[in-house]
């Protein structure tokens, strides 16, 4: 059936000249989100997408049903004990959002549980997101925190998807709302020890958290006091509280440099304590417990190490190295408890946990370290929610590509770990039906790149299976193996699913990140292509049925890969894609731009950075047949209220491709869909999110399993 006529976006003359390079951009007008022509174009593309993908609707409904049937809709998280209460969240069948609640330990000495489908006895609801979301098409909680005395809860909400939040303070005993004076704030909340004050962040016009303010509960917002302001546009502010509620932690950070201040939670009107002044290239983070600080830093080691320091008389002493990691182990973080500490690290491309028992007689204050052991060769482990500094046990989060997300309780004294909860997967799921493995692709420069792979045990690995390769590769973010109920719908249809651990992430340590940014950014793209080639060369995937997917910076990856190796893929899904990177990095008034020059380059100041970025930025290199190869089918999805990657970028990308005549082949259309009330993470509400996933994957499955056109079949 022939494709319908695609929408045509208006082209308006516009020339951008930077470093004597004049560039015509007829879709620059789309930067004005309020322009009615943009809204009209997006709505036209949505209508076109509905026409083109209509044949996949029955499959989308089928996949949604599978996700729903496999999910235990009424469920309870593992209750966590803190200050005389068990805290947990629960979901209810038919409700989009979670209910956050607690039960007094005095009423339930053991962890409370659902009573059938009913809440635990004695439950006190802290925050019912369903009630708060009533009347809103979009709803998200930014931050929430119970006061140290347990009487009040503060939470921030977003009802547009633009990540600007309104603050609410509620009395937990009476349910009475005490304060709604503060709005338009960022992420992060911190209580004073007496519950009289709240600290919060504000963002500037470029969505950069640049201020921390102090608010007195019940007072007008115009009486709030500015505590810290960060004027360097490369830095953002983060806000939190130490595990023992002793300190409010205010962290300023860029991509390469950090600076942390501690504010006494018992006197939040006092002066913050500076841990260490910023030094370009030195990154550090602190874990306070009482007057002791554990510091993770890269001052002397590229892969970071752990040190100890003390706070005395308003000053932080020297950092004393603990010597508990080696140079080839990448230290991710440290958590401090009264009787021990836990170092989170990466080794051999996988996550690991190292336990350090306290020993006052030892020079460092800690005894011999040991690692927690786990059986699966491809897995992810990390600390769970452990709010009690005096705890003698640890809750751990554990998952793999075949093991549903689980919570283990590790007894520090005995070394034994007990399964507390494994996320139920209904519908006859048996992990033995699936196989996970790790492969290593060889990049263009000879670097070995890990790939995590999962498929059904009965999937033929003879070069006939469809496949999906997922990637990200930026900001040092790792795509560690994880379980997905939704992914089962792909695997059970014969797909081989893989994630490429490409440079730009930190899977193999900090050098892995450094070797995929700035001047080395193109390693990210060529690594992904090498991973695709490895799957194809092994015969794990049909050469004509491989699909690629990535979101945000992973969407940039997808755009670059399409330009670089269009012939490798039958279809590519670009989610909220950062495809116009050069234009964005040329405008410091846009959200996140200035803070990301250390990631991508500064094309304003540097002609070299400009030329390099222009060489790989997807929008700058579009062609109907890149490298002489026809484009694969493209699915481009975005959200109108996204503040991280503006809707402008994918809209321009698709409009320009259409103007080039791309997407006109029946077997390789361009489908562009915008969620008109949503943010960077897509729609809110679990059922709506499942429907979105089902709709997107149904189209990818349909394209990947369509009969091949004659030319492709012959190839």
Find out whether 639 and 678 touch, Cβ atoms under 8 Å.
Answer: yes
Type and span of the H or E element at 638 = strand 633-639
Rounded CA separation 540/542 (Å): 7
Q: Supply φ then ψ for residue 198, to 5 degrees.
A: -125, 140
Q: CA–CA distance from 697 to each of 133, 493, 605 (Å)?
A: 27, 11, 42
From 264, 285, 335, 642, the catalytic residue: 642
> What's the half-sphere exposure (Cβ side, CA atoms, 13 Å) at 235?
22
Q: Is 255 a catalytic residue?
A: no
Whether the Cβ atoms of residue 277 and residue 291 lie closer than 8 Å to each other: no
Residue (of 122, 153, 127, 152) closest to 140 by Cα position: 127
Residues 6+ apart with CB under 8 A from 671: 48, 49, 52, 53, 633, 634, 635, 636, 699
- Distance CA(27)–CA(699), nearest Å, equals 28
Point out which residues pair with 305 in neighbouring strands. 297
| DSSP sequence for 21-43 | EEEE-TTGGGG-TT-HHHHHHHH
* The pairing of beta strand 305-312 with beta strand 320-321: antiparallel
The DSSP code for 402 is S
Residue 527 CB neighbour total at 10 angstroms: 29
Contact 574/559 with Cβ under 8 angstroms?
yes
Does the annotation count 642 as an active-site position?
Answer: yes
Which residues are CB-neighbours of 94 under 8 A, at least 6 positions away? 73
Contact residues for 516 (Cβ-Cβ < 8 A; gap 6+): 473, 474, 502, 503, 504, 505, 523, 524, 527
Q: Which residues contact 597 (CB under 8 A, 6 or more apart)?
A: 234, 585
Options 452, 552, 617, 639, the catalytic residue? 552
**Is 680 known to be catalytic?**
yes
Active-site annotation holder among 344, 523, 680, 684: 680
**Which residues are marked as active site?**
552, 642, 680
């Amino acid at each position: 059936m022939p494709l319908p006529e695609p929408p045509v976006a208006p082209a308006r003359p516009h020339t951008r000249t930077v470093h004597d390079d004049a560039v015509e951009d007829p879709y620059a007008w789309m930067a004005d989100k309020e322009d009615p022509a943009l809204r009209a174009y997006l709505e036209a593309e949505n209508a076109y997408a509905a026409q083109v993908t209509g044949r996949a609707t029955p499959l989308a409904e089928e996949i949604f049903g599978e996700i729903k049937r496999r999910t235990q809709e009424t469920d309870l998280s593992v209750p966590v004990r803190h200050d005389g209460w068990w805290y947990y969240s629960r979901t209810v069948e038919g409700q989009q959002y979670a209910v956050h609640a607690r039960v007094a330990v005095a009423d339930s000495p053991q962890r409370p549980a659902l009573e059938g489908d009913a809440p635990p006895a004695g439950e006190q609801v802290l925050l019912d997101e369903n009630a708060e979301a009533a009347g809103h098409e979009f709803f998200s909680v930014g931050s929430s925190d119970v006061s140290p005395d347990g009487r009040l809860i503060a939470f921030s909400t977003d009802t547009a998807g633009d990540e600007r939040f309104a603050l609410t303070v509620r009395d937990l005993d009476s349910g009475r709302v005490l304060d709604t004076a503060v709005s338009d704030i960022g992420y992060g909340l911190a209580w004073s020890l007496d519950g009289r004050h709240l600290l919060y962040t504000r963002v500037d016009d470029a969505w950069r958290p640049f201020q921390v303010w102090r608010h007195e509960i019940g007072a007008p917002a115009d009486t709030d006091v500015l505590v810290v302001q960060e004027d360097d546009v490369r830095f953002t502010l983060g806000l939190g509280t130490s595990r023992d509620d002793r300190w409010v932690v205010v962290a300023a950070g860029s991509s390469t440099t950090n600076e942390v201040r501690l504010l006494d939670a018992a006197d939040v009107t006092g002066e913050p304590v500076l841990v260490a002044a910023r030094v370009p290239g030195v990154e550090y983070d602190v874990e306070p417990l009482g007057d002791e600080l554990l510091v993770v830093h890269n001052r002397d080691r590229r892969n970071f190490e752990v040190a100890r320091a003390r706070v005395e008389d308003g000053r932080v002493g020297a950092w004393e190295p603990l010597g508990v990691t080696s140079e080839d182990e990448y230290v991710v973080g440290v958590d401090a408890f009264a009787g021990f500490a836990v170092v989170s690290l990466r080794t051999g491309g996988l996550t690991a946990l190292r336990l350090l028992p306290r020993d006052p007689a030892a020079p460092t204050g800690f005894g011999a370290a040991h690692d927690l052991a786990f059986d699966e060769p491809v897995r992810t482990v990390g600390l769970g929610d452990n709010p009690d500094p005096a705890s003698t046990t640890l809750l751990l989060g554990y998952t793999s590509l075949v093991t549903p997300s689980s919570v283990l309780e590790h007894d520090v004294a005995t070394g034994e770990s007990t399964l507390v909860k494994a996320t139920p997967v209904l519908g006859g799921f048996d992990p033995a039906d699936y196989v996970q493995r790790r492969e290593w692709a060889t990049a263009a420069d000879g670097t070995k790149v890990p790939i995590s792979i999962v498929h059904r045990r009965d999937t033929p690995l003879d070069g006939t299976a469809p496949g999906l390769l997922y990637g990200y590769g930026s900001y040092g973010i790792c795509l560690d193996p994880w379980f997905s109920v939704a992914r089962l719908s792909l695997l059970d249809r014969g797909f081989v699913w893989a994630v490429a651990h490409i440079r730009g992430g930190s899977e193999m340590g900090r050098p892995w990140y450094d070797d995929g940014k700035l001047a080395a950014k193109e390693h990210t793209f060529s690594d992904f292509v090498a991973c695709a080639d490895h799957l194809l060369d092994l015969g794990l995937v049909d050469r004509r049925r491989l699909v690629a997917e990535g979101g945000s910076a992973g969407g940039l990856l997808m755009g670059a890969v399409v330009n670089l190796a269009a012939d490798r893929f039958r279809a590519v899904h670009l989610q909220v894609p950062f495809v116009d990177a050069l234009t964005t990095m040329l405008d410091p008034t846009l959200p996140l731009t200035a803070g990301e020059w250390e990631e991508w380059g500064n094309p304003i100041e540097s002609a070299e950075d400009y030329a390099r970025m222009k060489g790989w930025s997807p929008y700058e290199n579009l062609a109907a047949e890149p490298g002489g190869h026809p484009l694969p089918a493209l699915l481009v999805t975005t959200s109108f209220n996204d503040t991280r990657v503006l809707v402008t970028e994918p809209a321009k990308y698709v409009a320009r491709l259409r103007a080039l005549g791309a997407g006109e082949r029946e077997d390789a259309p361009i489908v562009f869909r915008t969620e008109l009330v949503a943010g960077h993470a897509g729609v809110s509400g679990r059922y709506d999110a499942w429907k979105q996933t089902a709709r997107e994957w149904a189209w990818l499955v349909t394209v990947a399993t369509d009969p091949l056109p004659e030319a492709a079949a012959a190839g």
